[in-house]
């Protein structure tokens, strides 16, 4: 079993810098009214980016192998969060948006399905804690 590592160091107050085994740094912080400096992304926001990056890389890889002509690809993530502490996500929705030429719906559906059911570990982890749904839009161009 592989082991992944992360290192986080306090910068000031609730401002932190963190890096993982890939040795890329990211700054995390909170709003000023919570003791932060508003100098970085919020930790829970990273969770939204994590699932988008995970499933997005799967979908792109699969569509490239199928030689699908995608010009632009975007992902929008929305999450429902409880009002009371600890404020946790209860549901998450992934919206995939494809633009390109002659994009077949079956190819998009299959790429998303493979990511969601087989490849994206972040999706599988989040599904244990909340409802994860998805939708997609294809904008075929002339």
Hey, CA dihedral for 103, 127, 133, 50, is it positive or negative? negative
DSSP 141: -
Q: Which CATH class is domain 43-140?
A: alpha beta
State residue 110 phi and psi, 5-degree precision. Answer: -65, -40
3-state SS assignment for residue 81: strand
Over residues 44-88, the pLDDT tens digits come to 999 999 999 999 999 999 999 999 999 999 999 999 999 999 999
Q: Please give the pLDDT value at position 70.
A: 96
The percentage of the chain sitting over the pLDDT mark of 90, rounded to a whole number, equals: 99
Q: How confident is the model at residue 142 (pLDDT cuts 50, 70, 90)?
A: confident
The percentage of the chain sitting over the pLDDT mark of 70, rounded to a whole number, equals: 100
Q: Is residue 133 pLDDT above 90, yes or no?
A: yes
Q: Please give the pLDDT value at position 15.
A: 96
Q: Is residue 93 pLDDT above 90, yes or no?
A: yes
Which sequence spans correspond to the domains of the chain?
A: 1-41, 43-140
What average pLDDT does the chain have? 97
């Amino acid at each position: 079993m592989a082991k992944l590592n992360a290192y986080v160091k306090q910068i000031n107050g609730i401002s932190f810098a963190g890096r993982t085994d890939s040795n890329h740094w990211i700054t995390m912080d909170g709003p000023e009214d919570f003791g932060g400096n508003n100098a970085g992304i919020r930790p829970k926001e990273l969770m939204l980016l994590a699932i988008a990056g995970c499933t997005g890389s799967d979908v792109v890889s699969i569509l490239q192998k199928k030689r699908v002509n995608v010009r632009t690809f975007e992902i929008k993530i929305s999450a429902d969060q409880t009002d009371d502490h600890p404020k946790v996500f209860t549901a998450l929705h992934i919206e995939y948006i494809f633009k390109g030429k002659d994009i077949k719906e079956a190819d998009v559906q299959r790429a998303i399905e493979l990511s969601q059911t087989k490849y994206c570990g972040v999706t599988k982890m989040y599904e244990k804690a909340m409802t994860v749904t998805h939708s997609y839009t294809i904008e075929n161009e002339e």
